[in-house]
Amino acid sequence: MQPLVHPGPKTEPRIISVPVHTRRAICELQPGKPIVDQLHEALASLGAHSGFAELHGGEYSPLSYCIPDVATSERALSFSDTKAHDRAPLMYGSVTLGVRDDAPYMHSHCFWQAPNGTLQGGHVWLETEAGDPPPIAIVTAVYGALWRSTTDPETNMPVFTPEERSAEMQQESDTIIARVLPNEDITEAILKVCAEAGYETASVRAGLGSFVGATFIDRASGEQFVVDGPATEVIALIGDVRTVDGELQARLSCTLVDRHGVIRAGEVVRGENLVAATFELTVQRIDQTVAIAG
């Protein structure tokens, strides 16, 4: 996949990472209230301003969203016009939680069942509310950093970047949060983050952002397939990093929506999935693994 040419100056470094520690809460959202407000209320109950959430089940009512689109004269990629459903049963969603202009903000990619029964996905806008029944949210607060959204001069798009706040650290770091910048391969970026943090075994959690198209392996058939660009919206990137014969290796699975509105999923091919505009990454250290005898 060819790298995108963005309109602004290239930002350095290409991976901005901050060590944090985390706390987690599980909560049922309330019908008729904006998702962003409820998730930030859950963060506040944990004494935090930033974090991420994983959403399961229930429904959105109403749902407001868009999908990725082609380049414009101002940007290397764009969004579709806003789309909406009065109600949409939720399958899964990833959310990054932080601030923009010092107000609560979120970046969320989800997929759901449309009224005709098909699966759809996209970038969820702030006016989206929980329906009845509401989704379940697994909210993870981070301490030691703040996710701040600003307009990125390189891409001319709003992006979250982690800012270090070491005074907020209450205990030893167990997690790295990072922004991966455009045209970096996501697998190589994850391996670099783990190597620099000294993580020998780690879990990749609830990552969301965009790829320049995508290249996957279908685990059932072993077939490799390519999704066309210029951008796809990654709904979830999950997987693990392990040390094998002294070398870090990653196995990652991804679910995304392409610019045609089609949901895709598969195993990420190393070296073939470049970040399009941004990627918000959460990597958690695993201190011990247990083998189960069979």
Top pLDDT among 229 and 274 is at: 274
How many domains does the chain contain in total?
2
How crowded is residue 166: how many other Cβ atoms within 10 Å of its Cβ? 12
Tokens of 51: 């974090």
Q: Does residue 247 fall inside a structural domain?
A: yes
**133 shares a domain with 178:** no
Give 189-213 pLDDT, tens digit per residue. Answer: 999 999 999 999 999 987 899 999 9
Residue 126, domain CATH: 3.30.1330.80
Q: Cα dist. 192→163, 249, 270 in Å?
A: 19, 11, 13
Q: What confidence score (pLDDT) does residue 11 get?
A: 94
Q: Does residue 160 fall inside a structural domain?
A: no
Q: pLDDT exceeding 90 applies to what percent of the chain?
A: 92
Give 55-81 pLDDT, tens digit per residue. Answer: 999 999 999 999 999 999 999 999 999
Q: Does residue 234 fall inside a structural domain?
A: yes
Specify the 3-state DSSP secondary structure of 216: strand
**123 shares a domain with 38:** yes
**182 shares a domain with 263:** yes
**138 shares a domain with 45:** yes
Residue 293's pLDDT band (boundaries 50, 70, 90)?
low
Q: What confidence score (pLDDT) does residue 145 get?
A: 97
**124 shares a domain with 231:** no
**182 shares a domain with 281:** yes
Q: Which residues of 18-56 are buried (b: 16+ CB within 10 A; e: fewer)?
A: bbbbbbeeebebeeeebbbbbbbebbeebebbbbbbbbe
Query: What mean pLDDT value characterizes the chain?
Result: 95
Q: Would you say 185 and 255 are in contact if contact means Cβ atoms under 8 Å apart?
A: no
Q: Would you say 214 and 237 are in contact if contact means Cβ atoms under 8 Å apart?
A: no
**193 shares a domain with 120:** no
Q: Does residue 61 fall inside a structural domain?
A: yes
Residue 291's pLDDT band (boundaries 50, 70, 90)?
low
Q: What confidence score (pLDDT) does residue 170 get?
A: 76
Q: What confidence score (pLDDT) does residue 125 get?
A: 98
Q: pLDDT exceeding 70 applies to what percent of the chain?
A: 98
**180 shares a domain with 99:** no
Q: What confidence score (pLDDT) does residue 227 get?
A: 95
Q: What confidence score (pLDDT) does residue 292 get?
A: 55
**96 shares a domain with 187:** no
Give 4-19 pLDDT, tens digit per residue. Answer: 999 999 999 999 999 9
Give 242-266 pLDDT, tens digit per residue. Answer: 999 999 999 999 999 999 999 999 9
Q: What confidence score (pLDDT) does residue 40 get?
A: 98
Q: Does residue 39 fall inside a structural domain?
A: yes
H helix runs in 133-284, sequence order: 186-197
Give 82-113 pLDDT, tens digit per residue. Answer: 999 999 999 999 999 999 999 999 999 999 99
Q: Does residue 130 fall inside a structural domain?
A: yes
- Those residues whose C-beta lies under 8 Å from the C-beta of residue 53, and which sit 6 or more positions away, are 39, 42, 93, 94, 95, 97, 137, 138, 139, 140, 206
Q: Does residue 153 fall inside a structural domain?
A: no
Q: What confidence score (pLDDT) does residue 192 get?
A: 98
Q: Is the pLDDT of residue 294 over 90?
A: no
Please give the residue range of the domain that contains residue 243.
Answer: 174-285
